Amino acid sequence: MAGKIMVLVVDDEQVIRQCCERTAFPTEFDLRAVHSPEEGLRLIKEDAGFKIVLTDLKMPGMDGMEFIRQARQLAPDVRLVLISGFATDEVREQARDMGVDFLAKPFGPKELLDILWKEED
């Protein structure tokens, strides 16, 4: 929809994709959720206008870190957020090193919207 902030979510778990879609539906975010990193990269390559991209860490085929590297090459200005149920210090540190925000799973609507609204550093 025109004027909305476009968000892409890449996660192999359907429940996470549905939760994100339901949360964003009544808001100013136009959120699209896909199940595979390859599909996510394809959409970014199409220049779909995404401002924020959230990616899961553990996915079949490609992990979230590799997805972030490739997404950055395609769209250097996009804001990236790593989401994971493996919220260890190591994973948080990896996210910090990559310069991306981190959101631990499971998360509720408030946590998701807080991270979407967070100002870029």
Residues binding Mg ion (CB under 5 A): 12, 56, 58-59
**Distance, CA of 89 to CA of 35 (rounded, Å):** 26
Q: Which is nearer to Mg ion, 30 or 31 (CB)?
A: 31
101-104 and 79-84: which strand pairing? parallel
Where do we find the tokens 């939760």? 19
Task: Give min distance, CB of 26 to Mg ion, in A.
Answer: 26
- Other beta carbons within 10 Å of 35: 18
Nearer to Mg ion, 11 or 101 (CB): 11
Contact 80, 103 (CB under 8 A): no
Nearer to Mg ion (CB atom), residue 58 or residue 69: 58
Q: Minimum Å distance from CB 64 to Mg ion?
A: 8
Q: At closest approach, how far in Å is the CB of 59 from Mg ion?
A: 5
